[in-house]
Amino acid sequence: MTEPVVLAAAGAALVLDVAGPGLPRVVHWGADPGPLDDDSLRALVVAAGGGVPSAVGGPTQPVGSMPLLPAQWDGYAGRPGVSGDRGGRWPYLRFALEGPVRVDGGDLIAEAVDETAGVRVRAELHLDRHGVLRVRHTLTNVGADAWTVAALRTLLPIPEQATEVLDFTGRWGLERVPQRRPLGHGTHARESRRGRTGHDATPLLIVGDTGWREVWGVHIGWSGGHEEYAERISGTTAVLGGGELLEPGEVRLEPGASYTTPTGWFAWSGDGLDGLSDRFHRAIRDRPRHPRTPRPLTLNVWEAVYFDHDLGRLTKLADLAARVGVERFVLDDGWFPARRDDTAGLGDWTVDPAVWPDGLHPLVDHVRGHGMRFGLWFEPEMVNPDSRLARDHPDWILASPGRLPRPHRHQHVLDVARPEVADHLFARIDALVTEYRLDYIKWDHNRDLLEAARDGAAGVHRQTVAVYALLDRIRDRHPDLEIESCASGGGRVDLGILARTDRVWTSDSNDALDRQQIQRWTTLLLPPELIGSHVGPSPAHTTGRSAGLAFRTATALFGHAGIEWDISTCTEEELDLLRDWATLYKRLRPVLHGGRPVHGDVSGVVTDDAAVFVHAQLDNPTELRPRRVRLPGLSPDRRYRVTRCWGEDADLPDVTLTGRALATVGIQLPRLRPEQAIVLEVLPA
């Protein structure tokens, strides 16, 4: 096939020149140009500059297109799509197509080889029905000796109109903090060498035009070292993309061996950030293992009891949890031997007989007697030096001999890539899941992987692959088990770990004010049903800030809701309010977990039949008069009735208007004080 190829869906398109001799060249990524015959496609390639050579200050190259793996042979002056060497030789690759490019619906596969360098590559692209493009490459060593991979990236071109970049930073307890700036010449890169995604990792790296109406975004679905970047260099096509961030010598391919990139998730939107997140949410919800059942209201006991495990206290919490409508009860850290604080016991995955002489059965049976599911906390990848496991198997720690990494939280990392370590962890987790018929695991990961090496060789790549394999093995053995990805809060939030888990713990902070921002920007990539969102105590344990219960419950409503609070300290009025909130959450789940998040004057979730919006006052308003807000995303010609369903007691006018009127004129809401909120339900009139 030599005619240009168009992959198109849901108003988005990728146009590729597949004439060779190298890998396909991307002519356009963005809005669908519409139906084109072969002559028009060829004209489009020429019109876009794909057939126009340039030799000003450099080699002749088509200036309006970019190969899937750009290299110096293409006249490309940026970071190469692939780099590596064979013992210091053949660092520059020149790929030639092997056979025709194969296209089947939204799938494109191209294979190419550099015979001299002894490297073959397979490029795989899939454009789904929602316009999200998934890209991955596989590099195979076809030479006679080892080839070391330095980088293999998934990249797509971005146009001149992309003049600004948006990404996110953060820290423990305050993840997903946005930062926006101009995109000039040079490289805007976000890199993580933490061995996990990172609290400061950007869920999406996004570029946009000056009005942020047209945007392009990328997410690298990988839980180890990774990079996302946008790059614009004079004379070179600008790009957006990234890949696994490999340490020196980390991937060394013997003859015949292969390396496959993490999946690069790319999407374009002509409808701003809401349109971009809508594409990602639809694609994520289409995954075969995406949760299909209603997301159970969860109570986690961590901020209620910490390490102080007492059967009487926990059964009382279970009684109160059932009273307010909790559907899943999770026992957090502290159930295994010597675990009275975080300095000892980690890695010894047996129930502590001193605290639990009859095992966990009395608590599990009590919880299930209320009709609730039962979950348990683990941190399988870590170990305390003060533990039986570390004393019996010091060689299982991920470290080179005589060079332990600096400890953090009194713990080190287990070398899960050792088969004996993975087998041990699987056996212990499997035994506990089986004995207690666990419904749920909270899988924690409380430290970065610094100096993660074995015998002097970097080990983050194989550690990440091994953790994925362990999770897959557990899920295969227990297909109904749900797993939460927690990493001291939101430190491992990515589509690599979420291919094997059912939700993420968004942040260790349950401060509702911070959570408003954290959840809003996490939802940019993930649909709300994957985002753990709990009502915490006041004052918040992480910040010491106080907030009313109406504001805290309204905030927790917009995610996979739960409670993380010693509710035995609640007044009867607070317990009644929690019960009413739990009832509302269950009623609104189909909208909250199946709709399209929208943002404007207020934020909300919209379906074809209903919508839920939250008006949250985050600071002290300068205006004395009440605020008028517009409600975006509704069907323009349909009539809706707007009612207050939760939040502060306040009068709201009885309003029935069309979606167009609500989106353009809006409605006046009561004036709120800082850290107050009103939740609005919008139903067809």
Coil, strand or helix at 455: coil
Amino acid at 574: E
Nearest by Cα to 317 from 563, 490, 501: 563
**Bridge partners of residue 126, in order along the sequence:** 107, 134
d(CA 493, CA 203): 7
CB 156 within 8 Å of CB 239:
yes
Which contiguous run of DSSP H or E holds residue 461?
Answer: helix 460-477
Q: Catalytic: 308?
A: no
Query: Which residues 6+ apart lie within 8 Å of 661 measured at CB?
Result: none
Q: Would you tell me how many other CB atoms lie within 10 Å of the CB of residue 652? A: 14
Query: 10 Å Cβ neighbour count for 475?
Result: 17
In the residue annotation, 444 being an active-site residue is answered as yes
Query: Would you call 400 helix, strand, or coil by DSSP?
Result: strand
Which residue type, as a one-letter code, is found at position 514? D
Do residues 131 and 12 lie in contact, with contact meaning Cβ atoms separated by under 8 Å?
A: yes
- Whether 648 contacts 677, CB under 8 Å: yes
* Continuous segment of H or E residues that includes residue 640: strand 639-647
Could you say which of 74, 332, 444, 511 is catalytic?
A: 444
Given the residues 74, 352, 448, 508, select the one marked as catalytic.
508
Say if CB 395 and CB 401 are below 8 A apart: no
Residue linked to tokens 């107050």? 676
Per residue, what are the HEC states of 298-357?
EEECHHHHCCCCCHHHHHHHHHHHHHHCCCEEEECCCCCCCCCCCCCCCCCCCCCCCCCC
CB atoms within 10 A of CB 96: 12
Residue 266, token pair as written in the block: 């790319």
d(CA 429, CA 358): 19
Radius of gyration, CA atoms only, the chain: 27
Nearest to 195 by CA among 605, 480, 487: 487
What is the per-residue DSSP string for 213-237? SSEEEEEEE-SSSEEEEEEE-TTS-
Burial of 55 (0-12, 13-18, 19+ CB in 10 A): exposed
- Residue tagged 């009313």 (tokens): 548
Residue in this structure with the two tokens 């890695």, named with its chain if needed: 347
The residues that bridge with 120 in the sheet, in sequence order, are: 113, 140
The values of phi and psi at residue 180, to 5°, are -125, 140
Tokens (6 digits) for 110: 């191209």
User: How far, CA to CA in Å, does 167 sit from each of 32, 185, 203?
Assistant: 26, 17, 8
SS3 77: coil
Count CB neighbours of 36 within 10 A: 16
Phi-psi region of 656 (alpha: psi -120 to 50; beta: other; left: phi over 0): beta
The answer to whether the CB of 46 falls within 8 A of the CB of 28 is no
CB 266 within 8 A of CB 133: yes
Contacts with 4 (C-beta within 8 Å, 6 or more apart), sequence order: 15, 16, 17, 18, 19, 27, 38, 41, 42, 44, 45
Q: What is the dihedral of CA 549, 555, 557, 560, to 10 degrees?
A: -120
The residues carrying an active-site annotation are: 444, 508
